[in-house]
Amino acid sequence: MTVEEIKAADIAKLRANPTKKYRLINVWATWCAPCKQEFPDLVGISRSSTCATSSS
């Protein structure tokens, strides 16, 4: 899994989704307890899928 910081300007490009493939965009913070709690599930999703995990 790749975790990348995203800039506000990149959000429009991600939302446009020219490839029409499914995307999971998760916004979280290290200080957010529920965010940290869900992280292992996101790692599991990443490992069980064949999708790319890059935001570029």
| 3-class SS letters over the chain | CCCCCCCHHHHHHHHHCCCCCCCCCCCCCCCCHHHHHHHHHHHHHHHHCCCCCCCC
pLDDT at 56 over 50: no
pTM (two decimals): 0.48
Flag whether 38 is in a domain. Answer: yes
Flag whether 29 is in a domain. Answer: yes
Question: 30 lies in which domain range?
Answer: 1-10+22-56
Region 44-53: what's the mean pLDDT?
A: 71
pLDDT, tens only, 19-46: 888 777 788 788 999 989 998 988 888 8
pLDDT of residue 27: 80
2: pLDDT confidence band, cut at 50, 70 and 90?
Answer: low
Flag whether 15 is in a domain. Answer: no
pLDDT of residue 51: 56
Flag whether 49 is in a domain. Answer: yes
Flag whether 16 is in a domain. Answer: no
Alpha-carbon distance values, 48 to 8, 51, 53 (Å): 29, 9, 12
Phi, psi of 36 (to 5 degrees): -65, -35
Flag whether 17 is in a domain. Answer: no
Q: How many domains does the chain have?
A: 1
